Every structure is written in structure tokens, then in C-alpha cells.
Amino acid sequence: MTRTDGRACQENRAAEDGEGPRHEKRKADADGNKDEDVYTKKKSIDWFSVLEDMGQGAYGQVKLAQYQTPRTEKVVLKYVTKNRILVDTWIRDRRLGTIPLEIHVLNYLRAYPHKNIVNMLDFFEDEVNYYIEMTPHGLPGMDLFDYIELRADMSETEFRSIFYQVACAVGHLHSVGVVHRDIKDENIILDGYGNIKLIDFGSAAYVKNGPFTVFVGTIDYAAPEVLSGKSYLGKEQDVWAAGILLYTIIYKENPFYDVNEIMNNELRLPSVVSEASADLIRRMLNREIDQRPTIEQVLDDPWFKNIDLSASIGQDLHTLRASAAENQPKALSVPASRRGTRGARSRMHSALHAGPGSPRGAQFPMDLPTSLTKLLPDQS
């Protein structure tokens, strides 16, 4: 099916029903299997067997899990450690109680599902953690950070399709009053068939609560107006971050190395894959906020004219991983200092969330302008 403009993104909205009340009760089967007794109680982590660790974030861990017998569904569980949740990221809801903003936003989005946005099935809690239960994507999926590193010969057709789906997801969020505020390659999961999902809503917020005075997210993707220490609007930050992402997908490196470059350096493209893609990057990375396009304008860009999302793109992830393993040690096509590393970026993200004196003890990997420190979260 050929897509001709940004409005076609609406065709991607998933017909997901978002079932899964907070505290499910399951009836026993006819054979009275005693294993089902676990499901007669309030939902807890005891309902699941953890299959593998999938990642570590600023607030907790992500694991692939499976319901215990007789249920067999596999789910992704994000552990959100309560004592790491910032004071200003709790929200009080008449129906749900006082919960983290991340869960509130994901629960809100269940009424507005989209094919390219992670689907929260349910959430529950114990004394230590909140648990966000989500539908897996790919099994195994791969985040875009690793895919960029391993996929040596990505075509323009492929990276245009990937980025268009990201833009569709962001456009959908903006249309329902949500900003993500941490768009980056590590927060995009591919399934091996070219389909993506935007994940990790730990920095998300409602547009109506802006402008924002606390910086969240990852510095590599932060817009100049944010780094200048001013209050900022979320939509413009999302567009800037998406522009950084597009550059990174195409050129396998970050356009700016440090805060000073983000604030002052001229944008340089290593090469021009196509005039249309280069023009879109320049527009999205415009330091003048009023000249930066909205996400709707991005989706209507000529580069996406007649884009065909039904075309088979992407590579089998098992094959990609196996090929990478055979060719190790692998020489990267760009210096690590320009591409960045997952560890460094994670520490940067954690530091900005944590602020001085955090129990996580994260350190800033680059010098920050004095003006930015007033936007860091207050842990007092």
C-alpha cells in the first residue's frame, strides 16, 4: 500500500483492545489444576517466570517474562523502582490513585492505540517496584541503536521507512496531547520485518503541563533552547530529537559531539544521500524554534511522497546477530567518539534524571553550561 502524505499515518493505528484490568482473577480450568491458584490473588511478580534480562534503564530493569502454567503468554515487564522515581513525576488520579506519570501516560494511551507505539497491557505494584506489563515486539526484537551498528548496508528505502514510522508515532502522540521527550535510537524497537515501536515513556508528559522547567532525556538529543537553560515546549524538543535520530540512522554517527557543538557548530553532512533527506535534516535541526517544522509538517515532507510501507524491508535479526558474531571483532565504520556508546549515553540519561546526590551515583560525561543546571531535577 502506497502512502502519499502524513495523514496516512492514521492508517497505522492498531486495533489493540488494551485489555487487562489492574488486578485480574482467572477461573480455574475444568481439571482444577492447582497451578491456577496463583491467579486467584492480587496480581504480583509471582504470576510470572522471568525468561531473560532485556535491558537496564534510569528507573529500573526490563525483562522478558512468561505467565506461569496454565497460561503461556509472553510479556515484557518493566520494573520501575519506587525509590528512584522523582518527586515531580508522580501524578494523582481519582481512579488509579497516586502513580508514576509514565504509567499514567501509558494508561491514557490505551484509549488511543497506535501500531508504532508500545502497548501497556496492565500494571501492578509491590513494596519495591511498579511493574509495567507490555506486549513484546519481535521476540527477539532489536533496538535501533544495535541495528544501526550491525546493519552495514541500509538502503535509503529502509531508513526512510523506519524514520517515517517513528515520525508517525510522534505525530500520534502530539495529536493526543503527549510529548515523549526522550526520542533516541535506544528507545525504538524493530521486529526484523521493518516494523518499529516507540518505547520508554519514562520522560513523557502531557502537553498541557508545559512549558517545562525540568530537563529530562538524553543530552545527545537535546535541543539548543533546552541546553540554554530556558523553559521549553515538548513538541519542538521532540522534533529536534527526531532530526538527530534521522541523521544518526543515515550517517551512523551523531551530528554534534558535545553541548558546545549543539549550541554553536554549523550542521555538517558527511555526504548527501539524497537532496530530500538532507533538506529534511537541516529543517528539523534548525536552532530557530519558529522555523523548525512541526511533526505534521515533517510527515508531509516531499521525501515521504509515495512511500510504500508494504514493501519488505529489514533483515532477519537472528541472521544479523549471527553475522555480527562471526565477524567479531568488528571495526566500526565511524569513531566511537562520534557515534557514542550505549553505556555512556545511559549514564548521561541517568545523571540528568538523578541530579546531584542521587543514590545511583551517575556522573556527567561532558561539561554542562551553568544555565542548564537549573533545569536539572531537584532531589531535595
pLDDT at 343: 45
pLDDT at 69: 85
Alpha-carbon distance 322 to 327, whole Å?
9
Q: Are 235 and 294 in contact (CB under 8 A)?
A: yes
pTM (two decimals):
0.81
pLDDT at 322: 75
CATH of domain 14-24+44-134: 3.30.200.20
pLDDT at 361: 27
Alpha-carbon distance 129 to 244, whole Å?
33
Alpha-carbon distance 360 to 346, whole Å?
12
Question: Out of 146, 182, 185, 220, which one is annotated catalytic?
Answer: 182
What separation in angstroms does the CA of 286 have from each of 101, 262, 340? 30, 11, 22
Q: The dihedral of CA 154, 156, 157, 163: what is its sign?
A: positive
Tens place of pLDDT per residue across the chain (380 aa): 455 455 567 555 544 444 443 434 333 333 444 455 566 678 999 999 999 998 886 668 999 999 998 888 999 999 999 998 888 889 999 999 899 999 999 999 999 999 999 999 999 999 999 999 999 998 778 899 999 988 888 889 999 999 999 999 999 999 999 999 999 999 999 987 889 999 999 999 999 999 998 888 899 999 999 999 889 989 999 999 999 999 999 999 999 999 999 999 999 999 999 999 999 999 999 999 999 999 999 999 999 998 877 665 666 777 777 776 666 654 444 444 445 555 444 334 433 433 333 322 232 334 445 554 445 454 43
3-class DSSP assignment, residue 319? helix
pLDDT at 180: 97
* CATH 1.10.510.10 given to domain 142-373: yes
Catalytic status, residue 182: yes
3-class DSSP assignment, residue 273? coil
| Domain ranges within the chain, ordered by starting residue | 14-24+44-134, 142-373
Alpha-carbon distance 75 to 152, whole Å?
31
pLDDT at 104: 97
pLDDT at 34: 46
| Displacement of CA 24 from its chain's centroid (Å) | 28
3-class DSSP assignment, residue 239? helix
Rounded to 5 degrees, φ, ψ at 236 are -65, -35
Alpha-carbon distance 32 to 34, whole Å?
6
Alpha-carbon distance 62 to 85, whole Å?
16
pLDDT at 153: 83
pLDDT at 31: 41
Burial (CB count <10 Å: 0-12, 13-18, 19+), residue 264: exposed
Q: Do domains 14-24+44-134 and 142-373 have the same CATH topology?
A: no
Contacts of 158 (CB under 8 A, 6+ apart): 194, 313, 314
